[in-house]
Structure 1
């Protein structure tokens, strides 16, 4: 299915979706929260029964990340770098060792309650998609990269108008950032096969919610074509 007809919600069921016009000179790539804490796993055989059940539930996410998402982000990084376009990275990390600077969304009990001090291994971006020396990395203690950092100012200063977004998690930090970007009138593209949520169902639901309102959802291949780099 072509990108204009994928992920249509009821709001846009009968709408005519306009063509995308991406000016590479004003387009940046934003990679969100591809960090060690989310990609490293314990050895399954060393876990108890309850922990193994949770481990198994997360296996589809890890398979998607390693088989599709990370390779596609690597490809996008390569092309943006080759074409001398700006690349931004975000990561969740607190500035205090006890995490008291985190926003409420990063303190709630359960999955989001991760203590990720700035300089610890868990908070670092994984080597496979690590930033180069001249690429900007913003640290945030919120879901939205705009709310939790000076990213908005940086994008305006660097004359970025179109932002290609990839990363994790589709229904959390990706979605929150995309909504903030749209509210600031940036033109946002979300890379379907460059993102993941805890499950494919959550991923697809969130893309359906944000598509055509806050962004356009496209595949890696579509993005490359629209930028004229294919």
Structure 2
């Protein structure tokens, strides 16, 4: 199924197909969000390990290799590669946003220099590629990424990373609100379950972004 007809929510199930996407390299960035060591560590508890096994399989077999390949493609074609990660500046995390201090899955204590807060090496920065550090879901909130993108003349942002229904969704909505054209790469993203992943893509598609595969994204580049 083409990106023009896939991931349609109720709001857009009868809408016309969108126009072709054109991404000039000099105006386009690939932004990879939160693919960090902490999220691919195996679970100690057997029950949790079983629950998270499909997510970890998707990360290992789909998201990380596809994202690494897309980064290589971007570098070869003059598309800026940017990185974002969750980390706090303090050891006790007192600088974190409220959502990261609450009990449960979203409780995140990731001091910036600790190993589990680092980006997975396979998709890490190369050379002088920019890494922004956030203590929020949205990559624009609490970072200077907005200024960086404007300074670089970026108008189009290709988004990859995790989690589709959390930091990806929040970041995409913020970017759209700032009038960036956003493309989310379906097979370079993951949520805890495939159902959550697909549902969120339907929610954000055609309102805040367009959702496409990595191979389709490569066809959007124009010279």
> Shorter-chain TM-score category?
over 0.9
In structure 2, C-alpha distance between the alignment counterparts of 1:10 and 1:173, rounded to whole Å: 23
Q: Is 1:22 paired with 2:23?
A: yes
**Residue aligning to 2:214:** 220
What does 1:177-188 align with in structure 2 at a 5 Å threshold?
177-188=171-182
Q: What TM-score does the superposition give when structure 1 sets the normalisation length?
A: 0.94
How far off its partner does 1:22 sit?
1.6
In structure 2, C-alpha distance between the alignment counterparts of 1:20 and 1:10, rounded to whole Å: 23
In structure 1, C-alpha distance between the alignment counterparts of 2:175 and 2:210, rounded to whole Å: 12
How far off its partner does 1:40 sit?
1.7
Pick one of 82, 104, 120 that aligns with 2:76: 82
**Residue aligning to 1:171:** 165
In structure 1, C-alpha distance between the alignment counterparts of 2:222 and 2:181, rounded to whole Å: 17
**Residue aligning to 2:88:** 94
How far off its partner does 1:18 sit?
2.2
In the alignment, is the contact (CA less than 8 A) between 2:23 and 2:222 conserved in 1? no
Q: What TM-score does the superposition give when structure 2 sets the normalisation length?
A: 0.97
What does 1:1-230 align with in structure 2 at a 5 Å threshold?
1-16=1-16, 17-42=18-43, 47=44, 51-227=45-221
How far off its partner does 1:210 sit?
0.2
How far off its partner does 1:176 sit?
0.3
In structure 2, C-alpha distance between the alignment counterparts of 1:52 and 1:199, rounded to whole Å: 18
Please list the CA deviations of residues 131-157 of structure 1 after superposition, one character each: whole Å capped at 9, or x if unmatched.
012100000000000012100000000
After TM superposition, where is structure 1 displaced by more than 3 Å over at least 4 residues in a row? Answer: none
Q: For structure 1, which segment, 21-30 or 174-183, has the greater mean C-alpha deviation from structure 2 after superposition? A: 21-30
Please list the CA deviations of residues 47-87 of structure 1 after superposition, one character each: whole Å capped at 9, or x if unmatched.
5xxx2111101000011111111111011110111123211
How many positions carry a matched residue from both structures?
222
Question: In structure 2, the residue corresponding to 1:213 is in which secondary structure?
Answer: coil
Question: In structure 2, the residue corresponding to 1:58 is in which secondary structure?
Answer: helix
